[in-house]
Structure 1
Amino acid sequence: MQLTDRTILSSATASNLTKNSSILIIGAGTWGSSTALHLARRGYKSITVLDPYPSPSPISAGNDINKILELSSSAPRGSHERYVGDKLAEDAIRGWKEDPVYKGLYHETGAVTAATSERGRAALNEGDGYSEADGWRPLRTKEDFQKTMPEGVLTGDFPGWQGWTKKDGCGWVEARNAVISTIAEARKLGVTFVSGERGQVLSMIYEAGDVKGAVVVQGPAFRADRVILCAGANAARVFNMQDQLRPTAWTLAHIKMTPEEAKLYRNLPVLFNIERGFFMEPDSDKHELKICDEHPGYCNWETNPGDPKHVSVPFAYHQIPVEAEQRVRQFLKETMPHLADRPLSHARICWCADTPNRAFLISRHPSYPSLILGVGGSGHGFSYIPAVGGVIADCLEGQMDPQMQNLFRWRPETAVDRDWTDLQSRFGPDGSNHVMDLQTVKEWTAIPGDS
């Protein structure tokens, strides 16, 4: 293999790394906590993780009762992207099933995937992701959909719905519990987590052409031999990402179920319509059913005076736009109309960061040899929490898989003249099939107890 300047820089920097090197991780969400755990398991003795919020962060997309787990790749067989996706998926599934930190948090209940419009159905069926050869069974009528779950669950008419169902290799994971378990194990292995104003990063420390730590709101700066940026949607607020990240928010809502309903809904397959939304079984503690409306995302656009570029600024809020609630109820009317008018018990927006092509950004920075980037989850990063920290640790040590290194590289050239309204192959129902702006939202829900 021909050595590039980046390869030489990476190798030289990694050679100066020891188990006693101080490592500072910015961000204690999904990827930051995963990275801390993997590094601690590899024997690193001085790891500090900074986050403005106590873990799990209320702004993190990973702070959720559950997430869909379907780690199949939609890339063509034999392609570079397919190889990377399959390798990451294998490592993640192994972690969900075998790692004591995650074992028992993955529920292989199967899945129902669907679309409603002709355009949506065409997108769903293109490529080789869904086929009977891969174990998927076609669904063409409302009776087909209703039979995927116990009688009394799916009572809707499923207008225009077509899709597929599969019983194995997919399901859902206990998201918040996975993050809590990751952080608990990392702490047990000696990792220090700092939150509040002491953990809120204002800027990096730049010295001698490198990054040497971080300045925080309160108290002295944190200095370190290596800095790993895992700040998700907030990464661009502390480091110039050259337009490679677009902070994008999604909306979720909960409705309260009775213990009897929760029992009926237990172990259901995940139901996901790429234009309507999705739901999974109620959580075992509060008996709340989570429903997400599907759309290309919200941004919170703030433009600096004289600056033509858009800046999307994340914020934590435990309410959702009323228009999102209406989409949730439309989804319920088509699938479970007996629940469509039930009051919401909880709702919130959650944030992720989209790269231009939705490939992760896991790379040593080409200009700052001590800075590692682990960002760009692009709406599909949580499923890999058992494995993604290992990839970031490999990057730190200069032993990252070459194909991952290429696909996940620092790539500002892909963000030149970026289309900030790009749907990125996402869908939504009529009227919301575009990237929306939270600045224009006129009415929010007012769920008691949420804020």
Structure 2
Amino acid sequence: MDGLTHDSSILIIGGGTWGCSIALQLARRGYRNINVLDASEFPSPIAAGNDINKIAEEANPPSEDDSDENYMWNRIHQMSMHAWLNDDLLKPFYHSTGFIMAACGDDAYKHVLEYAAEEKAELVPLKTADDFQKTMPKGVLTGSFPKWRGYWKKKGAGWLFARGALEAMHTESIRLGAKYVTGGLQGKVDSLIISSSAEDARTIIGAKTADGADHKADYTVLAAGANSDVLLDFKKQLRPTAWTLAHLPMSIKEARIWGDLPVLYGVDRGFFIEPDEEKHELKICDEHPGYCNFVEVDQEVRSVPFARQQIPVDAEHRMRVLLAETVPHLADRPFNFARICWDADTVDRFFLIDRHPEISNLLVAVGGSGHGFMTNPAVGVIAVDALEGVMELRLQKMMKWRPENAVGRDWCATQNRFGADGKIMDLSLVKDWTKIEKPNERS
């Protein structure tokens, strides 16, 4: 942006996965006046990155012959995995354990076949219960895997210790000079401060927080995830969408057996990843097109995010089905934690990282669309490149401000996601929520 120097004041709205990555990248490039605002204490209970683990997968190397879409994803994955494998700050959090992608329904299996056709790494076909069971130590996968079909990618994939990585980025950015104001009224942004000139040109000069304070800056980065849509008119480019997860307590002995396992991902069932080392909890997610919270705002229907450490009873039922089909010996064990977590979907599920075309000095970095955590090292680089005006042209083309794509948007589009009843679900209609009980002591 014109006039940007290492002494320029930069305000980042959002201290979650992308906000921390952007703050870290700015600090690493020598910017000396970085301030971050977030409504929640760090780490935010609503942030999708505040989690014990996330799926990570290497992609094909980008090629100039790729379609623009394939080039974008291959380049983002290349940049991200280079960081997870080589950055001294981040590489302790990547576990290269392998990845299983499978499906039960025919439509979902077609998606798996498309994935396999484009994958250049060696894939092992999985067609029977015995095939699936042999991917893990004896006694882990005890289910009959009815209708499951898929592939096992032994190398070039695994999982990330998400919360650990998020905390590391946060700590390192502070060490390098970034300042965070989080939680309470002092961190909650109520509105953007935008000035208008006589020529009707608009420039952002900061943000106002709920305590009445003005936080002025030369440049502002809006990276507030699903909450970004509340602060700026994105012209229907963003749809806040939620997913559901739960934790299953395991004994120390069980956790040892379950160590270093490939991620098991059912495109229309859900997934689980090996237990964390600290609390020995198995994270389980059901797979579905997503939940929205549809409410009327200014005479328009919008999805508005909210935090809740419970999940709909229907989501728990789907998780129990996943467990019954794969690890039935755990299917009835009570959960000891559950929550909904939010992201923001763009229409095409490509990121939206661009300078605002009508508001000077504003950069938006939003639209994780379910890909946000694994790719966050690349997002930090790309966002700062965009701020500096040196973003790769092919990436810029795919991640630009594009409201023309959202004209007449179908808020209930499944966007190539499977599971549940194959439909977007409405949290405003949910009546029954899970009751999470404290787990029994296990040894």
Do 2:55 and 2:158's aligned partners in 1 also have CA atoms closer than 8 Å?
yes
Aligned residue number for residue 10 of structure 1: none
Give the percent of matched residue pairs that are identical in Structure 1 and Structure 2: 50
SS at structure 2 position matched to 1:310: strand
Given candidates 229, 237, 260, the residue that maps to 2:253 is 260
> Which of 210, 231, 241 is matched with 1:238 structurally?
231
Q: Which amino acid aligns with 1:425?
A: N
Which residue pairs with 1:168 in the alignment? Answer: 155
Q: How does 1:209-224 map to 2 (within 5 A)?
A: 209-224=202-217
Q: Among 197, 211, 218, which residue is 1:225 paired with?
A: 218
Q: CA deviation at 1:124?
A: 1.4
Deviations 1:264-308 (A, max 9, x none): 000000000000000000001111001100000000011136x2x
Q: Which residue of 2 aligns with 1:190?
A: 177
Name the CA shift for 1:226/1:354 in 2 (closer, same or farther; >3 Å): same
Match of 1:100 in 2: 88
Note if contact 1:153-1:265 (Cα within 8 Å) is conserved in structure 2: yes
Q: Matches of 1:357 and 1:264 in 2, distance apart? A: 40
1:139-175 CA deviation, whole Å, 9 max, x = no partner?
1111000000000000000000100001110000000
Asked if 1:384 corresponds to 2:371, the answer is no
The answer on whether the counterparts of 2:264 and 2:272 sit within 8 Å (CA) in structure 1 is yes
1:167-213 Cα shifts (integer Å, max 9, x gaps): 11000000011110000000000100001211111111111311110
Q: Where does residue 433 of structure 2 map in the other structure?
A: 444
Q: Say whether the 8 Å CA contact 2:275–2:282 is kept in structure 1.
A: yes
SS in 1 for 2:74: helix
Once the two structures are superposed, the pairs formed by residues 37-436 of structure 1 within 5 Å of their partners are 37-72=24-59, 78-126=66-114, 129=117, 134-196=121-183, 197-208=185-196, 209-304=202-297, 307=299, 309-429=300-420, 432-436=421-425
- Matching residue's letter, 1:62: G
Q: Distance in 1 between matches of 2:187 and 2:310?
A: 25
TM-superposition CA deviations, 1:108-127 (whole Å, max 9, x none): 00011100011211121126
Corresponding letter in the other structure for 1:322? V
Q: Which AA in structure 2 matches 1:20? A: D
Distance in 2, matches of 1:175 and 1:403, equals 29
CA distance in 2, matches of 1:176, 1:127: 28
Q: What is the CA deviation profile of residues 379-434 of structure 1, one whole-angstrom value per residue up to 9, with x for unaligned ones?
A: 111101222111000000000000111100000000100010100000004xx310
Amino acid at match of 1:261: E
Question: Runs of 4 or more off by more than 3 Å in structure 1?
Answer: 73-77, 127-131
TM-score (norm 1): 0.93
- Please give the alpha-carbon distance, in whole angstroms, between the structure 1 residues aligned to 2:90 and 2:379: 14
Q: Distance in 2 between matches of 1:94 and 1:329?
A: 36
C-alpha distance in 2 between matches for 1:130 and 1:358:
19
For normalisation by structure 2, the TM-score amounts to 0.95
| Partners of 1:329 and 1:302 in 2: CA distance | 30
In 1: Cα distance, 2:46 partner to 2:437 partner? 19
User: Counterpart of 1:317 in 2: which secondary structure?
Assistant: coil
Give the 3-state SS of the residue equivalent to 1:303 in structure 2. strand
Q: Distance in 2 between matches of 1:346 and 1:407?
A: 38
Once the two structures are superposed, residues 329-361 of structure 1 have per-residue CA deviations (whole angstroms, 9 ceiling, x without a partner) of 000000000000000011000000000000000
**Which runs of no fewer than 5 residues in structure 1 stay unpaired?**
1-13
How many pairs were matched up?
Answer: 432
Which amino acid in the other structure matches residue 282 of structure 1?
Answer: P
In the TM superposition, residue 446 of structure 1 has moved relative to its aligned partner by 1.2
C-alpha distance in 1 between matches for 2:60 and 2:103: 18
Distance across 1 between alignment mates of 2:151 and 2:118? 7
Aligned mates of 1:242, 1:73 — CA distance in 2:
33
Which amino acid in 1 is paired with 2:7?
Answer: N
Give the C-alpha shift of residue 74 in structure 1. Answer: 12
Q: Which amino acid aligns with 1:34?
A: S
d(CA) in 2 for partners of 1:126, 1:68: 19
Structure 2 gap ranges (5+)? 197-201
SS at match of 1:31: helix
Q: C-alpha separation between the residues in 2 aligned to 1:356 and 1:436?
A: 17
Shift of 1:449: 6.2
Q: SS at the partner of 1:125?
A: helix
Distance between the aligned counterparts of 1:187 and 1:252, measured in 2?
30
